[in-house]
């Protein structure tokens, strides 16, 4: 049984309505140990009630260098399956959690680190970021949801190339491939991520919920099923009390502007 580490693996700071969550294994380039993965799950299951968005970043020179290989060296087949499913459960709490999550990427975003990034909703990359899936050269296969999430971001063909050949994408190639949404200079990422998180935190919670939980599921449905699901979600969002207040304020402001112009 693993013991509680002497130093925290995660730090959580509230900045207004934004939870700033930092991976704190800088000496290991934030490699994902079992303890860290479990802490991520607990963290996203128990965010403060005041949180409306989150920014996930890594301390030190890398966002996340992937799986801590020392923890899987002796796994048998059964243990490996449960290990993968444990990662799935933790990353589900990010992608289908309570608040939208922005990943701030710099340095190594490799293997499990790329899987973690792909579980987030928006990705801001600094120009130091680079991406790789080295599992093939180590006799491994992605196990943290990458075959689903990364393949949807960049396509099966490009992911196949990365896994078979060990190809490394730099920050610009990753941006062009669809990994990141925003590309900024070194040191500028936190300001951009917090700016975006602040905007997202100001959205109607039900709209954010629909984008996080319903939009990905619509993508898995047939066209007709997707259209029906869209109608249901649109109805729920439009009738939400928060939305009604926002619409009333918008219309009142628009009416006042017209009167003033007249």
By DSSP bridging, strand 122-126 and strand 108-110 are: unpaired
57 by DSSP, 3-state: which? strand
What pLDDT was estimated at residue 160?
96
Q: Of 154, 186, 201, which residue is a domain's last? A: 201
DSSP H or E stretch at residue 261: helix 241-261
For residues 63 and 104, state if they share a domain.
yes
Residue 115 structure tokens:
């899987």
- What percent of the chain lies above the pLDDT cut of 90? 79
100 by DSSP, 3-state: which? coil
Instruction: Please say whether the beta carbons of 52 and 19 come within 8 A.
Output: no
For residues 194 and 220, state if they share a domain.
no
What pLDDT was estimated at residue 261?
64
- Cβ density class 215-224: b for 16+ within 10 Å, e for less: eeebeeeeee
Residue 3 structure tokens:
């013991």
What pLDDT was estimated at residue 54?
98
For residues 155 and 233, state if they share a domain.
no
Evaluate whether residue 5 is within a structural domain. Answer: no
Evaluate whether residue 4 is within a structural domain. Answer: no
For residues 45 and 83, state if they share a domain.
yes
| Residue 183 CB partners (closer than 8 Å, separation 6+) | 124, 125, 126, 127, 171, 172, 175
Instruction: Please say whether the beta carbons of 43 and 10 come within 8 A.
Output: yes
For residues 55 and 175, state if they share a domain.
yes
For residues 244 and 177, state if they share a domain.
no
In the predicted model, residues of the chain with pLDDT beneath 70 are 1-7, 72-74, 247-262
Instruction: Give the CATH number, domain containing residue 212.
Output: 1.10.12.10
Active site residues: 115, 135
By DSSP bridging, strand 130-132 and strand 108-110 are: parallel
What pLDDT was estimated at residue 250?
65
Domain boundaries, position 172: 10-201
Q: How many CB atoms lie within 10 A of CB 18?
A: 23
What pLDDT was estimated at residue 29?
96
Instruction: Enter the pTM of the model.
Output: 0.90
pLDDT of 188-224, one tens digit each?
Answer: 999 999 999 999 999 999 999 999 999 999 999 999 9
What pLDDT was estimated at residue 262?
59
What pLDDT was estimated at residue 74?
61
109 by DSSP, 3-state: which? strand
Q: Positive or negative CA dihedral for 131, 87, 226, 198?
A: negative
Instruction: Give the CATH number, domain containing residue 17.
Output: 3.90.226.10
What pLDDT was estimated at residue 127?
98
């Amino acid at each position: 049984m693993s013991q509680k580490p002497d130093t925290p693996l995660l730090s959580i700071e509230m900045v207004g309505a934004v939870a700033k969550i930092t991976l704190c294994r800088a000496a290991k380039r934030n490699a994902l140990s079992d303890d860290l993965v479990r802490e991520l799950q607990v963290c996203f299951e128990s965010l403060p009630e005041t949180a409306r968005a989150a920014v996930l970043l890594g301390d030190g020179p890398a966002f996340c260098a992937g799986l801590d290989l020392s923890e899987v060296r002796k796994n048998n087949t059964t243990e490996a399956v449960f290990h993968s499913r444990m990662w799935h459960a933790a990353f589900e709490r990010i992608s289908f959690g309570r608040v939208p999550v922005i990943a701030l990427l710099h340095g190594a975003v490799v293997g499990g680190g790329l899987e973690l990034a792909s579980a987030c909703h928006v990705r801001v990359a600094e120009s130091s970021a680079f991406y790789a899936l080295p599992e093939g050269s180590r006799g491994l296969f992605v196990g943290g949801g990458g075959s689903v999430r990364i393949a949807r971001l960049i396509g099966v063909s490009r992911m196949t190339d990365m896994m078979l050949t060990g190809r490394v994408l730099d920050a610009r190639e990753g941006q062009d491939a669809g990994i990141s949404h925003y590309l900024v200079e070194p040191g500028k990422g936190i300001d951009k991520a917090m700016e975006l998180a602040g905007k997202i935190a100001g959205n109607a919670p039900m709209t954010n919920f629909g984008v996080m939980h319903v939009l990905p599921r619509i993508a898995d449905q047939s066209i007709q099923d997707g259209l029906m699901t869209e109608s249901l979600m649109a109805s729920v969002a439009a009738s939400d009390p928060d939305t009604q207040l926002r619409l009333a304020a918008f219309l009142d402001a628009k009416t006042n502007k017209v009167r003033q112009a007249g």
